[in-house]
């Protein structure tokens, strides 16, 4: 976590921004919960435990800045709640999401579209810079609880 925080600090400085205590607290929460796809409100509640004086607007501004600098990505899964995750250092779209329509849990799966993306670029003379794929359905736990979901 320390290495990633230092890398982000350098990136902020390169763009003439400082790693303020509020930004650092927000980043630490994101790093500690990397797989969780937290909403801004969830991030705020966790940051508040580390920095009790922080306001929700500060967290939103920090998330906007980190998104603008492409450090994190703002995701929308169609439920009206924006969630955040770190962008991959080596590939901007490194995984896809499975979204359970019953319990709203998110699962990550590996990127399955690299060859399709290359084919689309070639056949349509189109440079793809990103893609987003979400599969909607029901997780194993929800299917086990409610056998009618599989119909």
Binding residues for Zn(2+): 100, 103, 139, 142
122: β partners: none
Neighbours of 63 (CB within 10 A): 23
DSSP letter, residue 34: T
User: Binding-site residues for Fe cation, please?
Assistant: 94, 131
Annotated binding site: 94, 100, 103, 131, 139, 142
Q: Are strands 106-110 and 95-100 parallel, antiparallel or unpaired?
A: antiparallel
Interatomic CA distance for residues 138 and 124, integer angstroms:
35
Q: Which of 11, 49, 9 is nearest to 29 (CA)?
A: 49
- Tally of CA atoms within 13 A in the half-sphere of 17 that contains its CB: 18
d(CA 134, CA 151): 21
Please list, in sequence order, all residues whose beta carbon lies within 8 angstroms of the beta carbon of residue 20, skipping any fewer than 6 positions away: none
């Amino acid at each position: 976590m320390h290495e990633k925080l230092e890398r982000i600090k350098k990136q902020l400085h390169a763009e003439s921004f400082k790693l303020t205590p509020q930004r650092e607290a927000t980043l630490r929460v994101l790093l500690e919960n990397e797989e969780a796809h937290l909403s801004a409100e969830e991030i705020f509640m966790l940051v508040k435990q580390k920095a009790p004086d922080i306001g929700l607007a500060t967290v939103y501004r920090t998330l906007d800045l980190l998104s603008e600098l492409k450090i994190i990505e703002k995701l929308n899964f169609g439920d009206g709640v924006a969630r955040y995750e770190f962008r991959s250092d080596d590939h901007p779209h490194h995984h896809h999401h499975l979204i359970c329509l019953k319990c709203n849990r998110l699962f990550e799966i590996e990127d399955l579209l690299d060859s399709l993306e290359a084919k689309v670029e070639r056949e349509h003379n189109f440079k793809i810079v990103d893609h987003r794929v979400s599969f909607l359905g029901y997780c194993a736990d929800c299917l086990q609880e409610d056998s009618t979901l599989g119909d």
